[in-house]
Amino acid sequence: MAAQVSSRLGFAAAAGMVPGWIPMARTKREVVWATHETRFSRRREGVEESGVGGAGRLFPHGRCLETSCPFDCKDGCGCKMGKLLLAPMEGLVDDVLRDVLTRVGGYDLAVSEFLRVAGNLLPARAFRRVCPELARGSRTLAGTPVAVQLLGSDPACLAENAAQLVALSPAGIDLNFGCPAPTVNRHGGGATLLADPEQLYRIAAAVRRAIPAAIPFTAKMRLGVSDTARTLDCARALEAGGIVSLVVHARTREEGYRPPAHWEWVARIGEVVRRPVTANGEVWTTEDHARCCAMSSSPDVMIGRGAVADPFLAERIRKLARGEAVAVDRSRDWCRLLPLLASYWQQVRAKVSARQAPGRLKLWLAALRRNFVEADALFAAVRPLRGVEEVDRVLALHGVPVTPAAV
């Protein structure tokens, strides 16, 4: 056992581990990441206090909610009620839907779909393709910052591409350790990496060294591959690697998107890491958001499918936080949604082929049916259509203000 510990300590030194973090061997394939106290923070009676400034307001995770936001959030940051992040969703939440959803407001940050990094240095156009907002200061037209997400398993290659991305001034760089897609996992990326906390550390540490401190460096993970045996080790490893915050999709890879989300595990992670932890998974309503915050002990929540199904969800959460009432009848929201549907349709038509455009619209309408009865009727009318001109006519009949140029 002593030889194993010595070997692991040797690995840690060779990897350039962040000072103050020591890997301790627990089994042959597991590493527990422990931290020493530093002059910047301390734990006392289970609460972590910042040594940088005043006392501030403390949340159960020990994070002062009155500190400045690393993402330069709007509306006075909104950190007092916690941040709302718009999740990446491959094949659905692209720059077009990010534009539409952030126009409504309420989101402090959006994260792009992942850009897969596999053994080569990507050109600048590859980053701009997945995140066109880079041409506008890495913000949507509404001004919401957009972080760029990278996915891969090779530390050196990810670090090299992260350095390339830095030149484009992203609002943040995020690493994907949560994608459950079989195609991604077969190639050693996404959630499959959660089986190896040491590799998570290597990746995070390599990328951390490649990007300046001024650019927020974050990660997203699930609870594990098939169980939660290494959940806390993975979170510790990513923190040791240098991330400034962590998003946790509160399900394992094998659970996919099946409810429920295990928000209580976010609270457990928050007890062992000192970086902000954001809860993600199964937040569809304002009530879900409140329960998620309570069970996860986190004020920060990332919303994905819930945002697609209800474009006004973040706005409604913000209103409730300010003590304002939210309408139970959603008919007025549907009227507000019609011009957003028109904008989405026009942008999709401009971005993808005429053959692909109707399918993209159908995907969003199918999600909207969860909250709007009017979307049910519109989806039924659009579903059999394949031509964009036919879709234009049906949209107009249902009150969607398509422009003459699109008809």
Tokens matching residue 404: 């003459």
Are residues 295 and 241 both part of a single domain? yes
In a domain, 231, yes or no: yes
In a domain, 307, yes or no: yes
Assess whether 73 carries a catalytic annotation: no
Note whether 302 and 330 are within 8 A (CB): no
Are residues 201 and 292 both part of a single domain? yes
| Sequence-distant (≥ 6) Cβ neighbours of residue 93 within 8 angstroms | 86, 87, 101, 113, 304, 307, 308
Residue 305's pLDDT is: 97
Are residues 166 and 292 both part of a single domain? yes
In a domain, 257, yes or no: yes
Residue 244's pLDDT is: 98
Are residues 152 and 282 both part of a single domain? yes
Note whether 371 and 307 are within 8 A (CB): no
- How many distinct structural domains can be found in the chain? 3
In a domain, 125, yes or no: yes
Are residues 306 and 354 both part of a single domain? no
pLDDT at residue 275 greater than cutoff 80: yes
The predicted model gives 178-183 an average pLDDT of 84
The predicted model gives 376-382 an average pLDDT of 98
In a domain, 377, yes or no: yes
Tokens matching residue 336: 């507000």
- pLDDT, tens digit (0-9, with 9 covering 90-100), for 33-79: 333 222 223 222 333 322 222 222 233 333 333 334 444 444 444 44
Question: What's the CA gap between 127 and 124, in Å, rounded?
Answer: 5
Pairing of strands 245-249, 217-222: parallel
pLDDT at residue 140 greater than cutoff 50: yes
In a domain, 46, yes or no: no
Are residues 242 and 129 both part of a single domain? yes
Residue 300's pLDDT is: 98
Are residues 90 and 117 both part of a single domain? yes
From 271, 298, 321, give the residue that closes a domain. Answer: 321
Catalytic-role residue among 73, 179, 234, 293? 179
Are residues 84 and 227 both part of a single domain? yes
Residue 81's pLDDT is: 83
Structural domain range at position 93: 76-321
pLDDT at residue 226 greater than cutoff 80: yes
Q: What is the mean pLDDT of the chain?
A: 83
Rg (CA), the chain: 22
Residue 48's beta-bridge partner residues? 43
Are residues 252 and 294 both part of a single domain? yes
Residue 293's pLDDT is: 97
In a domain, 54, yes or no: no
Note whether 256 and 180 are within 8 A (CB): yes
pLDDT at residue 4 greater than cutoff 80: no
Tell me the three state secondary structure of residue 33: strand
Closest among 96, 181, 142 to 356, alpha carbons compared: 96
- pLDDT, tens digit (0-9, with 9 covering 90-100), for 338-377: 999 999 999 999 999 999 999 999 999 999 999 999 999 9
- pLDDT, tens digit (0-9, with 9 covering 90-100), for 305-317: 999 999 999 999 9
The predicted model gives 231-245 an average pLDDT of 98
Are residues 267 and 120 both part of a single domain? yes
Note whether 255 and 286 are within 8 A (CB): no
From 273, 299, 321, give the residue that closes a domain. Answer: 321
Residue 31's pLDDT is: 30
Place of tokens 């401009």: 350
Are residues 24 and 134 both part of a single domain? no
In a domain, 42, yes or no: no
In this structure, what CATH number is given to the domain that contains residue 115?
A: 3.20.20.70
Are residues 302 and 170 both part of a single domain? yes
Tell me the three state secondary structure of residue 217: strand
Residue 49's pLDDT is: 29
In this structure, what CATH number is given to the domain that contains residue 378?
A: 1.20.225.30
Tell me the three state secondary structure of residue 134: helix
